[in-house]
Amino acid sequence: MSLITLDKVTKIYPDEFVALEEISCRIREGEFVSLVGASGAGKSTLLKMIYANERPTYGAIYFGGRDIASIPERLLPFYRRNFGTVFQDFKLLPKKTVFENVAYALEVQGKSNAQIREEVPKILEIVGMADQMDKYPDQISGGEAQRIALARAVIHRPRVLIADEPTGNLDPVSTDEIIRLLLKINELGTTVILATHDQSIVDRLHKRVIVLNQGRIVRDDSQGRYN
């Protein structure tokens, strides 16, 4: 059974702009899926709907078989715990250290200090930032900041990692590092959905690719070929 199913999803923004048109696809647990397409193709809109930040105008999205439109508003924060998210800008809290930035993700979920002291160094080790946990965001590079954002996104062990243009602000070396980490997180069992306009990344991944063009799926290829 698929983890996420989109059934003829159409999104029309209030200004009548059709951002997505009859999108249907299934994503299985443990998959690594890249969503590619030019800027404006609808990638972010699709991710926002999966995360229940935007609602489809027509069609339905199922998560684990449940229509997410049926989840009451007050339970959406619990639904969203299934996900970790990273974006082009790292969104780190500038007045908190690397350790505190990652710890914060557990604090808001009510985890104990003992758990936090145990879990945070472990995930910082995985992303290769354990030796820099007392630094502040302005003391680390963009690539390092994105590694921290990744650590923060997955520390609560989400089922799905949503990465929306995570390498958009990074140099080629840092880009490689982030892609390598996304693959590692995927190998550890997390489903990864990566949106990017950078086809060279997709070339190297050899994972499933869904190509969007003006709000429609124009290709869905399990071998990572996009044209």
CB of 20 to ligand ADP, least distance (A): 8
Our CB check for ligand ADP shows the closer of 5 and 45 to be 45
CB of 227 to ligand ADP, least distance (A): 17
CB of 44 to ligand ADP, least distance (A): 3
CB of 114 to ligand ADP, least distance (A): 40
CB of 108 to ligand ADP, least distance (A): 26
Our CB check for ligand ADP shows the closer of 46 and 185 to be 46
Our CB check for ligand ADP shows the closer of 136 and 226 to be 226
Residues that bind ligand ADP (CB under 6 A): 13, 15, 17, 19, 37, 39-45
Our CB check for ligand ADP shows the closer of 102 and 201 to be 201
Dist CA 109 CA 208 (whole Å):
33
Our CB check for ligand ADP shows the closer of 13 and 117 to be 13
